[in-house]
Amino acid sequence: MANVKDLRAKTDDQLNDQIIALKKESMNLRFQQTGGQLTNTARMRQVKREVAQIKTILTERKAGSKE
């Protein structure tokens, strides 16, 4: 799980790329869960939270740039 300070240091493009990678991982985890092959169920929750953190940072940046 990434540290929030590390995420804030990244550019918007890097964060968007990371969201795409995390969503792909999330999809793969869902397929593994459906097939009964998922061993680390906590990883699904971590991926969701990390995507939410990144989206929050991007939203804060957009709101800050408007002011």
Regarding predicted confidence, which is higher, 28 or 1?
28
pLDDT tens digits along 19-36: 999 999 999 999 999 999
Domain 4-66 = CATH 1.10.468.10 = no
pTM assigned to the model: 0.87
Domain ranges of the chain: 4-66
Residue 25 dihedral angles phi and psi, to the nearest 5°: -65, -40
Estimate to the nearest angstrom the gap between the alpha carbon of 20 and the chain centroid: 8
Contact 11, 54 (CB under 8 A): no
